[in-house]
Structure 1
Amino acid sequence: MSDVPNIECSARELVDVTSRWGGHILNALQDGPLRFSELHASIDRISDKMLSQTLRIQIRDGLVTRTVEPTTPPRVSYELTTLGYGLTESLQPFLAWVRVHAAEVMAAQQHYDQCHT
């Protein structure tokens, strides 16, 4: 048995990076650290619960850091790590494609839904 991890299995573990909210969070943090409320306000329609869950996954994956400043009340901020910045740079062409083709995808979804319901 080899000590080298199975790359295919590892890639499957990273699928959460491309979850519905993962890319939005990484993109929002691209310009610097944000507090939870600022991050929440910058991502349309994300719930507090989903933001918290996704941030925990991204912190575990080494993409985001959580910093607690010892103030009263504590000030918590989230920031991309070097690994997170690298991933965000890689996501930019995909996000650009989404911006250009979002209307087409939505029209295709609507057409499909009308024909298959």
Structure 2
Amino acid sequence: MDGKVQFNHDEVAVTNKHEAFEEMFEAQLQEWNAQIALLKARADKHKAEAKIEYYSTIEALQHKRDAAKAKLKELKDAGPGAWEELKDGTEKAWDDVKTALHDAVSKFK
């Protein structure tokens, strides 16, 4: 041992990739929270009967968002070996939220 610190570039690259992926999803989660708040504000402007339908849609959207948030937590808590496997599930949950949000926005126009 010559006293030099060994630097594993591959490990750092993977860690940076994981952190970037998680940060991207955190930012997306915050954006969705803001969009859901806007949808609630729009729903509040409608009559009681329409509000019920809108809030039902919003509630379903919130459940999907919460599921995606839980997947992100699993991903953050996962070790390097399970990370890639969990990443796919997280991406699927994210796609579900994107689709539901798009549908809700289209419905509320």
TM-score, normalised relative to structure 2: 0.28
Larger Rg: 2
The structure richer in strand per residue is 1
Greater relative CO, 1 or 2 (CA 8 Å, sep 6+) = 2
The structure richer in helix per residue is 2
